[in-house]
Amino acid sequence: MPDIYYARPSNFLSDPRDKTVITGESEDEVLANMYEYLKSEEARERYPNIEDPTELENNIRTCIFKKGTKAIHNRPPDAEPVK
């Protein structure tokens, strides 16, 4: 099964209502797909201040994650009941 990488524009841009998730089989593919998304009409309406998405390369690369690596059970176990 190939690894899947993903990034969300809301992680590095200031619109938490944007629920878009960009995926790819490598970080470079996700980066290319993110550039395409940021050049689309939908993204231009949402983020009008972005003229050249390639200027955001470092921000985008920091927000690319590999699927399945997010810590889910990060709380300590419950204390055992006293008898």
Domain ranges of the chain: 5-66
Cα–Cα dist 22/24, whole Å? 7
DSSP H stretches of helix in the chain: 9-12, 27-39, 41-46, 57-62
Averaged pLDDT for residues 14-35: 92
- What confidence score (pLDDT) does residue 67 get? 87
Tell me the pLDDT tens digit for each residue of 25-83: 999 999 999 999 999 999 999 999 999 999 999 999 999 999 877 666 666 666 666 66
43 within 8 A of 9, measured Cβ to Cβ: yes
**Could you give the CA distance from residue 83 to residue 67 in angstroms, rounded to a whole number?**
42
pTM of the predicted structure, to 2 decimals: 0.76
d(CA 32, CA 29): 5
